[in-house]
Amino acid sequence: MTKTILDRLEAQGLRMTDQRRTIAQVIEQASDHPDVEELHARANALDARISLATVYRTVKLLEEMGILDRLEFGDGRARFEDSQRDHHDHLIDMDTGEVIEFCDPEIEALQEKIARRLGYHLQGHRLELLGRKIKG
Amino acid sequence: MTKTILDRLEAQGLRMTDQRRTIAQVIEQASDHPDVEELHARANALDARISLATVYRTVKLLEEMGILDRLEFGDGRARFEDSQRDHHDHLIDMDTGEVIEFCDPEIEALQEKIARRLGYHLQGHRLELLGRKIKG
DNA sequence: ATAGTTGCAAAGTCTTTGCGGAAAT
DNA sequence: ATTTCCGCAAAGACTTTGCAACTAT
């Protein structure tokens, strides 16, 4: 079992504020890919005292701690997801913008193999497919 | 054999200006992943009358025409490469930031397969690996 | 009491755009 | 002659940051 985000913040000597508690909760409950504005909206629904700047700061902090993954789907803003979720990749529907998650062990293994072939230890990876729905 | 960027611009009824000629030349000669500022610098070395705004406009135009691919390596600015170059993916050296290109037919095929399995026609794809050099 | 956090607003970075002048067709 | 394009500077979108007030320890 993994430690909560809050435990990990405390372990680093960082202070437990209501803002961080709330933002952490929002992130842990999210199963999608919210951007900062969306995180701010969700956090504010729980506690109106949370500023956008604090969300930016917290998200940056969590990313540096490896708790959050930052994603960019090409629309200029960063999106986030809990890095403890099982690894998965994304397929983006070019017509609707919908993001479909998928995971394929074969492709994961292949990525490892390729990195090794190039003389690298794989530390992270991101695969994004762009597609259009097959009709019929 | 593929048409030049200039031919394709003309074919769309767009005007051939010195700026576009120069920017097209810079892009065709690039074998790396320049950002807009870098493209501007290279273009300006050939012709000082090219503004940054024009580079932005041209790059956007070329991207919409499918001539250029826009890449994002997570540092906030867009990078570009000629989309006519053989498809390849990128491995980013986490320590140096160096970008290594590679191509693996197996992984390409697998991507197609996955997209189809999800009910999609694959229109584009991007794979980025992050790694650290294996020592010894 | 002390050092870390926050909110606010200002500033930063990258990109887009309105406009009058310039150039391509 | 028209219509498109360019340079410039202003504006936009997203993100970061300086500072004084606040708060967890």
Q: Which amino acid is residue A108, in one-letter code?
A: E
Residues of chain A contacting B114 with CB distance shorter than 8 Å = 91, 102, 104, 107, 129
Query: Closest nt to B57 (CA→C1')?
Result: C16
Say if residue B66 is exposed, middle or buried (CB neighbours under 10 Å; 0-12, 13-18, 19+): exposed
Q: A21 CA to D24 C1', in Å?
A: 13
Print pLDDT tens along chain B (136 aa). Answer: 567 888 888 888 899 999 999 999 999 999 889 999 999 999 999 999 999 999 999 999 999 998 898 988 888 899 999 887 777 889 988 888 788 999 899 999 999 999 999 999 988 888 989 899 998 7
Tell me whether residues A129 and B119 touch, CB distance under 8 A: no
Question: Which chain B residue lies closest to A101 (C-alpha atoms)?
Answer: B118
Q: Which residues contact B120 (CB under 8 A, 6 or more apart)?
A: A91, A93, A129, A131, A132, A133, A134
pLDDT digits (tens, 9 = 90+) for A11-38: 888 999 999 999 999 999 998 999 999 9
Percentage of chain A surpassing pLDDT 70? 99
Q: A22 CA to C7 C1', in Å?
A: 16
Mean pLDDT of chain A, nearest integer: 90
Query: Closest nt to A16 (CA→C1')?
Result: D24
Nearest Cα neighbor of A61 from A114, A6, A102, A105 is A6
For the question of whether the overall pTM of this predicted structure is more than 0.85, the answer is: no
Say if residue A120 is exposed, middle or buried (CB neighbours under 10 Å; 0-12, 13-18, 19+): buried
Extended beta strands in B6-119, E state: 68-72, 78-82, 89-93, 99-102
Task: Determine contact, residues A78/A70, Cβ cutoff 8 Å.
Answer: yes
Tell me whether residues A91 and B130 touch, CB distance under 8 A: no
Tell me whether residues B107 and A114 touch, CB distance under 8 A: yes
Inform me whether the C-beta atom of residue A97 falls under 8 Å from chain B C-beta atoms. Answer: no
Query: Closest nt to A17 (CA→C1')?
Result: D24
d(CA A110, CA B106) in angstroms, rounded, equals: 8
